[in-house]
Structure 1
């Protein structure tokens, strides 16, 4: 079965590479091919999840764990099925949503490479494998976010996302170096056996890499820039793949976090604060995709909280449920953008009523995001919070859960309102006024999963998940905790919808708050800090470096003057004498050349001309003369042979 595991990664990787090489010539077949590849990948993922194979390919043979190794355990089994399923649904959405003049081969080529990288990430068992997959994921995300590079701002958005996540990615290299120094091994499972400071360094590297990839504080603002990408890209990156990768990494490395102590606490607080702060940012957004982006960082914050407190099952369940919910909401946002030409909340008033079937799927996904029982994210948040011991951390996590109901309520207050006119339509692009049937099917399937994963609240299902993940001893929420969180979600959601409908001016006040600009986090990615650093360096350059350089230049000028005088008095005289001697030698050589060498050459030329003339004499063109010449030649050879004998 190891070959099947290899096919899980290689099939999308090779197919994506083939589409990129084929270019525009493969545009017509790119969509169907991508659907076929992801569909087959889903079947392979289910097969691999059930059989749990391993695969190892030699890479760095001199180091333990230097091979490219894929291993499927309980956590990987859950994640590969999730990634493959979401990839198939998003690919179907992309086929329906992308304009006909799009370079589809390039788009689906990068998409398949990205999926392959994520599948390799969740099955990687060694640091070289993880680093390779991690880097490919980052590079292809840059290409996908900046896919429409010719449009203003798109390429810059991709660059910001890439540079920010790339800065965090360096932590993985630090972790690899620490692991190699401490244990001599690059096996991921061996990281927690590092001693003392090496373990701290490895944990810090892993934590920074995860924070960057999952857009946790202080790296959150790259998600805002990433919203410039096509809607299918947002649906994939922010559900089960790139943004989820950091959360997955911390769940995988939870033993390392626990071994250091401080790293687990740092991860928990980073996640809880991101869930609360980015949740507040989401409430203040006027753009639906920006709201969903901020809420993505907030929801993944619960996964970080779970990894920090050791709630592996809760974090995994939340990761899975959030993927279904968020993929569905991004499909909804993208479809409304295509149909109505806007993603501004003001322009989406009554959008769910305009398209009732599609609106029902959107409503279910938004209710699940709010944590309304019995939908999916209701139970998973409580699974996470059940593992929290500290009161302060629990309060922050519970507050973040309430805030999630508020930003979900903001969506529902708009899209379920009475439809307004179409004056706000076509603000960002010309709308088609229709939603393809395939898109409606995709949104419906995701809504079913968003609702159906509420079964994770059932004790039997929760215990089964813990058995799969081999964490049977983890605590579960009690009935009272589930009822309390459900009630808080319903109250917060209901109040939000009621208040926003009764006081529309409150929306404008939120739009003008600092939270609307991502609480100033965007400035971390703006040119201003770079310009401030540049101005400081310019002052240093003027006052220190320039003076040093000018001093060196003045000294060099004086040395050059002294060298010039020495050149005139000494070197020029020597050079002039050598030149005169050279001229006399050249004149003598010229006379010899003309009188002797040229004479010999001319004599040889005359001799060759005479020989040539003599050689041409027998060439008369008369056949009888050629016979005569042949007889003479044969006679000469006969005489020569007789003499020699």
Structure 2
């Protein structure tokens, strides 16, 4: 079973590296290879989820590369592997530069699987870094178009900034006495190091999961290919932040301050990013903002200790959101647009695709008995047991979620406008290939029925004691969601005013879009530029000028002074110095000749010289006295 766990992580990365190394010649076989690897990965995921193995390999002195499967990671490897297979099958129908795309995608999948099975901070950090790098390359896959490369860089820099928290956490864990950096041992960290460790992990998780104030990078990531959006923002990268918070829930609870902080960040993100989703006129942007909002429920769950409820929400969201993103990608390829105003009639033109989109949208709205209803209610039950204020904010999030999901659904209904082909963002194929439709039905089935996994998830996590929603709480959230969906439908019907087709944009979205702050993602990117990027760039320019004028200037001045001294010595001092040396040499030689004259070798002359010297000395003494 340990071999299956090792293979689960190793097979995708090895296959991805081979595809990248072979390059263009591998283009024809890249898609079948990726589908085969993803299929093998799903089989291995089932095996390790049942067997719960652990594996160790030497990495650093006293620290192993640790992998293990427990209840939470068993659920995650199944979800990641299943969604990955669906996305790879869909991507085989529409992605160009297949060798590069599928190579990067397989490495990314391996990094995510390593993330959810890591048992210590070193293993987690390695996987986290690879996942971030691959996400940049995947978002910027169509780099020649310009904007995807810029958007990939923005997404990478934002998440990379938050990722510094993991390094801080690892250092604090070592200083706090967690020598092997095991995730299970982190609550035992001592003193203030535990608070620093907790803060680092929280920042890293919130950045990865696109929670406030980091949410805007997800809007930028929508410039990547649709399969990338479906994978990164349903079961993998964005979900990784929520997973990490669920994993360290005992640490959050033990800190005293981190649990409430995380819960409120999640709750506020649910509402505010839900309103942002409601103001979007681009389907992928709507789904991106709704991802931030729905992941907010998972973050809220981690903050209030609802590990099972958060996990159930994560599973339901993965199936629902991957389905919706893939449908959006299919329509973008077929119709050349993702604008809600020009997607009208898409559901009627492709009834099967429209039907599965309806299932996903209604699940996203939180309608019972679809999957997200159960996950969301489990989180709200724990919130109600912790703080009535959190519960109320969560209910507001339910209302907003139902509004934007219903608006997205009604936007694609009805007949297509006569000028539907005049507002395209890219060339349209006019069809949704069979290969692109294959994964949609299984994902729709998951979006519909995965809520029934509530009890198995609780059993797998050993969380039978968590608060469960009461009948009244379930009725309240279900009725509220249904009432909002009905209200949106009625508002659209009222907007018809006798017209034969639906209005171009649902009135609720048209009204919300006029609120520029919401349509522009709360101005988060502008604030990040003004509050972080601009000061950092100003500091960099100032340091550059200091380096050029002071440090480099001092070096240049020293070099110039040396050259000037050399010229001066060469032109004015060298001659006199040389003549002075020559004169001293001549004097020395003359003195030497004089010194040799008394050296005759005759003893009587030496006595005479000594007598003369004594006479001179005596005369000197007489005169001096």
TM-score by length of 2: 0.86
Alignment check: 8 A CA contact 1:160 1:525 kept: no
Alignment check: 8 A CA contact 1:340 1:426 kept: no
Alignment check: 8 A CA contact 1:321 1:376 kept: yes
Q: How does 1:553-568 map to 2 (within 5 A)?
A: 568=571
TM-superposed deviation, 1:534 = 4.3
Alignment check: 8 A CA contact 2:90 2:438 kept: no
Question: How many Å separate the matches in 2 of 1:179 and 1:542?
Answer: 39
Question: How many Å separate the matches in 2 of 1:187 and 1:409?
Answer: 44
TM-superposed deviation, 1:557 = 8.0
Structure 2 gap segments, 5+ residues each: 496-502, 583-625
Q: Indicate the SS of the match to 2:215.
A: coil
Alignment check: 8 A CA contact 2:407 2:509 kept: no
CA, structure 1 residues 442+572, in 2 after alignment: closer, same or farther (shift >3 Å)? Answer: farther
Q: Size of the alignment, in residue pairs?
A: 569
Question: How many Å separate the matches in 2 of 1:553 and 1:517?
Answer: 49
TM-superposed deviation, 1:546 = 5.8
Residue 510 of structure 1: aligned partner: 512
Residue 610 of structure 1: aligned partner: none
Residue 643 of structure 1: aligned partner: none
Residue 120 of structure 1: aligned partner: 114
Find 2:464's aligned residue among 467, 472, 484: 472
Deviations 1:238-277 (A, max 9, x none): 1110000000000000111111011111111111111111
Q: How does 1:141-156 map to 2 (within 5 A)?
A: 141-156=135-150
Deviations 1:463-507 (A, max 9, x none): 332121012211100011111100000111111232244345654
Question: How many Å separate the matches in 2 of 1:551 and 1:5?
Answer: 59
Deviations 1:55-102 (A, max 9, x none): 0000112x3xx110100101111110111100001000001122xxx2
Find 1:217's aligned residue among 196, 212, 217: 212
Q: Indicate the SS of the match to 1:477.
A: coil
TM-superposed deviation, 1:578 = 9.4
Q: Indicate the SS of the match to 1:386.
A: helix
Question: How many Å separate the matches in 2 of 1:544 and 1:59?
Answer: 40
Alignment check: 8 A CA contact 1:279 1:404 kept: yes
TM-superposed deviation, 1:512 = 2.9
Alignment check: 8 A CA contact 1:282 1:294 kept: yes
Question: How many Å separate the matches in 1 of 2:548 and 2:138?
Answer: 42
Q: How does 1:446-461 map to 2 (within 5 A)?
A: 446-456=443-453
Find 2:481's aligned residue among 489, 507, 525: 489
Alignment check: 8 A CA contact 1:251 1:312 kept: yes
Alignment check: 8 A CA contact 2:278 2:513 kept: no
CA, structure 1 residues 536+33, in 2 after alignment: closer, same or farther (shift >3 Å)? Answer: closer
Question: How many Å separate the matches in 1 of 2:581 and 2:232?
Answer: 76
Question: How many Å separate the matches in 1 of 2:547 and 2:10?
Answer: 55
Residue 291 of structure 1: aligned partner: 286
Alignment check: 8 A CA contact 2:271 2:396 kept: yes
Alignment check: 8 A CA contact 2:278 2:508 kept: no
**Is 2:526 the counterpart of 1:523?**
yes
Alignment check: 8 A CA contact 1:346 1:424 kept: no
Question: How many Å separate the matches in 1 of 2:5 and 2:378?
Answer: 31
Deviations 1:170-201 (A, max 9, x none): 11111111111112231111111011211101
Q: How does 1:203-214 map to 2 (within 5 A)?
A: 203-214=198-209
Question: How many Å separate the matches in 2 of 1:160 and 1:113?
Answer: 21
Structure 1 gap segments, 5+ residues each: 457-461, 580-645
Question: How many Å separate the matches in 2 of 1:80 and 1:551?
Answer: 59
Question: How many Å separate the matches in 1 of 2:331 and 2:430?
Answer: 9
Alignment check: 8 A CA contact 1:221 1:525 kept: no
Question: How many Å separate the matches in 2 of 1:32 and 1:539?
Answer: 53
Q: How does 1:535-550 map to 2 (within 5 A)?
A: none
Question: How many Å separate the matches in 2 of 1:105 and 1:576?
Answer: 79
Q: Indicate the SS of the match to 1:428.
A: coil
CA, structure 1 residues 425+92, in 2 after alignment: closer, same or farther (shift >3 Å)? Answer: farther
CA, structure 1 residues 324+541, in 2 after alignment: closer, same or farther (shift >3 Å)? Answer: closer
CA, structure 1 residues 178+438, in 2 after alignment: closer, same or farther (shift >3 Å)? Answer: same
Question: How many Å separate the matches in 1 of 2:27 and 2:556?
Answer: 60
Residue 18 of structure 1: aligned partner: 18
Alignment check: 8 A CA contact 2:366 2:402 kept: yes
Residue 321 of structure 1: aligned partner: 316
Residue 590 of structure 2: aligned partner: none
Residue 133 of structure 1: aligned partner: 127
Deviations 1:522-568 (A, max 9, x none): 21455896346545776898899969998999999899878865665
CA, structure 1 residues 558+223, in 2 after alignment: closer, same or farther (shift >3 Å)? Answer: same
TM-superposed deviation, 1:577 = 8.9
**Is 2:107 the counterpart of 1:107?**
no
Alignment check: 8 A CA contact 2:209 2:241 kept: yes
Deviations 1:218-253 (A, max 9, x none): 110000110010010101001110000000000000
Residue 70 of structure 1: aligned partner: 67
Question: How many Å separate the matches in 2 of 1:112 and 1:555?
Answer: 55
Residue 36 of structure 2: aligned partner: 36
Residue 348 of structure 1: aligned partner: 343
TM-superposed deviation, 1:154 = 1.1
Residue 225 of structure 2: aligned partner: 230
CA, structure 1 residues 256+575, in 2 after alignment: closer, same or farther (shift >3 Å)? Answer: farther
CA, structure 1 residues 545+416, in 2 after alignment: closer, same or farther (shift >3 Å)? Answer: same
Residue 298 of structure 2: aligned partner: 303
Question: How many Å separate the matches in 2 of 1:317 and 1:374?
Answer: 14
**Is 2:251 the counterpart of 1:256?**
yes
